Amino acid sequence: MTIHKEGRALLLGLLIVLTGIVALVWYFLTQIWFLISAAVALVLFCLVLQFFRNPRIKINYGTKNVLAPADGKVVVVEETEENEHFKDRRIQVSIFMSPLNVHVNRSPLEGEVSKFAYHPGKYLVAWHPKSSTENERTTMVLKTTNNTELLVRQIAGAVARRIKWYVKEGDQLGQGAEYGFIKFGSRLDVFLPLDAKVIVKPGDKTKAGRTVIAELS
- Which residues are part of the catalytic machinery? 186
Q: What counts of helices (H) and strands (E) characterise the chain?
A: 3, 16
Give which of 93, 87, 101, 82 is closest to 159, Cα–Cα: 101
Tell me how far the alpha carbon of residue 113 is from its chain's centroid: 18
Per-residue pLDDT tens listing for the chain (217 residues):
788 788 788 889 999 999 999 999 998 888 898 999 999 999 999 888 877 888 889 998 988 999 999 999 999 999 999 999 999 999 999 999 888 888 899 999 999 999 999 988 766 665 555 666 667 889 999 999 888 999 999 998 766 557 889 999 999 999 999 999 987 668 899 999 999 999 999 999 999 999 999 999 8
The pTM assigned to this predicted structure is 0.85
132/11 Cα distance (integer angstroms): 30
Phi and psi of 56, rounded to 5°? Answer: -75, 135
**Exposed, middle or buried by CB within 10 Å (0-12, 13-18, 19+), for 13?**
exposed
